[in-house]
Amino acid sequence: MATALKVVPPEESVTKFVARKHKMLINGKWVDSASGKRFPTYNPATGEVLAEVAEGDREDIDRAVEAARNAFENGPWPRLTASERGRLIWKLADLIEENLEEFAELESLDNGKPLKIARVADVPMAVDLFRYMAGWATKIEGNTIPISVPYTPGVKYLAYTLREPVGVVGQIIPWNFPLLMAAWKLGPALTAGNTVILKPAEQTPLSALRLGELIAEAGFPDGVVNIVPGYGETAGAALAAHPGVDKVAFTGSTEVGKLIVQAAAGNLKKVSLELGGKSPSVVFADSDLDTAIKEASSAIFFNHGQCCCAGSRLFVESKAFDKVVDGVAKTAEKIKLGPGFEPSTEMGPLVSKEQLDRVCGYLESGFAEGAKAVTGGTKAGDRGYFVKPTVLVNTNDRMKVVREEIFGPVVTVLPFNDTAELVPRANNTEYGLAAGIWTKDIRKAHQVAAQLRAGTVWINCYNIFDAALPFGGYKQSGWGREMGHEVLEQYTEVKAVCTAI
């Protein structure tokens, strides 16, 4: 458990990196904050201070926006060919891959996730995302359009569209997949030719800062990517409201997403949002139940439930309810909690004391409303921010634990009788990010998939991500899509050019 800290020590380069007095990246230079202030980040496995980082605020954001504007308009960046831009992004992917172990260790230390997961998921997926986006640089095309203007008879036109970068982009990212979220944001922005101010989450800025070093090493011109760590209410809010920013892209809570929209209204900057979820996982009795139990467990417990698409409402067809509850509870009990660096750890701590309190608060609310924990239901240990993987039954669709995003390893299991009853209940949420369905009846699977109001539906699998597959939300889960070619729409403006010939 959390108290038995038999951990593998980090690599020397990682220890040295973490111990630095971290600065911010503005216009290609590592600088202190204008105020001189720093803020601490904590090791979630111990609660101890991990690193000290320059604390960005309005003035730093101003400087970063100025640098990004200058790089967008005057620097070598707008003069690069599409192929050159693509090659820089590919180079960045190579450099991340060369430093895979270091990034995995930074993620594990800063976020708390198991090192072995960061090695096989977070870092390789970030590499893959950059490579996928690098390929797009040379393929962002417009159209030629045959137009038929009724009021200019006899005149011929050559009409075409260009896809141009939006300009200076502010990107605000969360702490659950720090490097990967930076990749999801930077990859498409850069391939389309924008310049960026990235604000990492205050809980987990370290991998973004290391990424900043590799961005310089890859050869991106100064000011193309600026990285300003700091708190959300200060640096984040200043970035979202800044009149010199053309677009803001945000991943985080729906609550903060709404603040971003309000802040963006001042200059009507473009906004894309990837927000919360309360995703249904649906197990039909005719599914391969052993597989469904395994995958529905992973749908909620992967990354300690700290996924916006976590399958947190598990609907099980009544005939299979007891078996699935038992199976998911047994799976939960077997999950080995511990510090991310302990090789046997399968689930680390939550990211912060705030998250620990929030998740425990939800558990108390669930119990007060009559929910029962088949397993878990409490924090674990007396050191760090650990919560036991929890399976709640005796729940109903009106309870707070069923309606609100908990963002922790807590699943509510709810029985249903048939598809007609299931679909409106599964859709009875303000969110619409993802859903999972397990059944052997492929016709039923696609019928249900068509009726679920969610940006992603996984059938007989869950949490399958690919740089080529768009991801994002219906309803209050967001605006726009990440990844796939769809994301490029968010980072380009369309210009229609019409020539009389």
> Does residue 181 interact with ligand ADP by CB under 6 A?
no
Rank residues 57 and 202 by Cβ distance to ligand ADP and give the closer one: 202
> Does residue 329 interact with ligand ADP by CB under 6 A?
no
Stretch that binds ligand ADP, among 18-26, 256-264, 416-424, 467-475 (CB under 6 A): 256-264
254 touches 476 (CB < 8 A): yes
Q: How many residues bind ligand ADP (CB under 6 A)?
A: 17
- We find the least distance from the C-beta atom of residue 461 to ligand ADP, in angstroms, to be 25
Catalytic residue among 55, 102, 105, 308: 308
Rank residues 55 and 342 by Cβ distance to ligand ADP and give the closer one: 55
Rank residues 174 and 432 by Cβ distance to ligand ADP and give the closer one: 174
Per DSSP, 281 falls in state E
- We find the least distance from the C-beta atom of residue 240 to ligand ADP, in angstroms, to be 5
Catalytic residue among 55, 274, 342, 482: 274
Q: Which residues pair with 199 in a beta bridge?
A: 172
Rank residues 253 and 460 by Cβ distance to ligand ADP and give the closer one: 253
Site for ligand ADP (CB under 6 A): which residue of 256, 283, 325, 411?
256
Rank residues 212 and 252 by Cβ distance to ligand ADP and give the closer one: 252
Site for ligand ADP (CB under 6 A): which residue of 35, 70, 161, 253?
253
Rank residues 34 and 172 by Cβ distance to ligand ADP and give the closer one: 172
256/243 Cα distance (integer angstroms): 19
487/472 Cα distance (integer angstroms): 10
Stretch that binds ligand ADP, among 4-12, 34-42, 169-177, 438-446 (CB under 6 A): 169-177
Q: Which residues pair with 379 in a beta bridge?
A: 387
Asked if 360 is an active-site residue, the reply is: no
Rank residues 202 and 317 by Cβ distance to ligand ADP and give the closer one: 202
* SS3 track for 11-61: CHHHHHHHHCEECEEECCEEECCCCCCEEEEECCCCCCEEEEEECCCHHHH
Site for ligand ADP (CB under 6 A): which residue of 114, 223, 252, 377?
252
> Does residue 305 interact with ligand ADP by CB under 6 A?
no
> 39: closest CA among 52, 49, 50?
52
Distance of CA 248 to the CA centre of its chain: 15
Output the DSSP codes for 149-217: -TTSTT--EEEEEEEEE--EEEEE--SSSHHHHHHHHHHHHHHTT-EEEEE--TT--HHHHHHHHHHHH
Output the DSSP codes for 345-380: -SB---S-HHHHHHHHHHHHHHHHTT-EEEE--SEE
Per DSSP, 7 falls in state P
- We find the least distance from the C-beta atom of residue 480 to ligand ADP, in angstroms, to be 16
Site for ligand ADP (CB under 6 A): which residue of 86, 165, 167, 174?
174
> Does residue 197 interact with ligand ADP by CB under 6 A?
no
Rank residues 260 and 356 by Cβ distance to ligand ADP and give the closer one: 260
Burial class (CB in 10 A: 0-12, 13-18, 19+), 66: middle
467/489 Cα distance (integer angstroms): 15
Stretch that binds ligand ADP, among 32-40, 250-258, 388-396, 421-429 (CB under 6 A): 250-258
Contacts 24+ apart (CB under 8 A), 334-337: 335/301, 335/389, 337/1, 337/2, 337/380, 337/381, 337/386, 337/388, 337/389
Stretch that binds ligand ADP, among 84-92, 120-128, 167-175, 321-329 (CB under 6 A): 167-175
> Does residue 211 interact with ligand ADP by CB under 6 A?
no
Stretch that binds ligand ADP, among 209-217, 219-227, 249-257, 330-338 (CB under 6 A): 249-257
Site for ligand ADP (CB under 6 A): which residue of 172, 181, 228, 448?
172
Output the DSSP codes for 216-270: HHHTPPTTSEEE----IIIIIHHHHH-TT-SEEEEES-HHHHHHHHHHHGGGT-E
Residues 250, 185, 134, CA angle at the centre, nearest 5°? 160
> Does residue 237 interact with ligand ADP by CB under 6 A?
yes
> Does residue 240 interact with ligand ADP by CB under 6 A?
yes
Which positions ≥6 away from 285 have C-beta within 8 Å? 317, 318, 319, 320
> Does residue 110 interact with ligand ADP by CB under 6 A?
no
> Does residue 225 interact with ligand ADP by CB under 6 A?
no
Site for ligand ADP (CB under 6 A): which residue of 236, 339, 366, 436?
236
Rank residues 236 and 432 by Cβ distance to ligand ADP and give the closer one: 236
Q: How long is the chain?
A: 501
- We find the least distance from the C-beta atom of residue 401 to ligand ADP, in angstroms, to be 17
> Does residue 232 interact with ligand ADP by CB under 6 A?
yes
The residue of the chain with the least Cβ separation from ligand ADP equals 232
130 touches 96 (CB < 8 A): yes
As given in the structure block, the two tokens for residue 344 are: 């046997």
72/171 Cα distance (integer angstroms): 16
Rank residues 221 and 472 by Cβ distance to ligand ADP and give the closer one: 472
Asked if 274 is an active-site residue, the reply is: yes
> Does residue 201 interact with ligand ADP by CB under 6 A?
yes
Burial class (CB in 10 A: 0-12, 13-18, 19+), 177: buried
Residue 477 — left, alpha, or beta (φ > 0 → left; ψ -120 to 50 → alpha)? Answer: alpha
> Does residue 259 interact with ligand ADP by CB under 6 A?
yes
Query: Which residues are known to be catalytic?
Result: 274, 308
Binding region for ligand ADP (CB under 6 A): 172-174, 199, 201-202, 231-233, 236-237, 240, 252-253, 256, 259-260
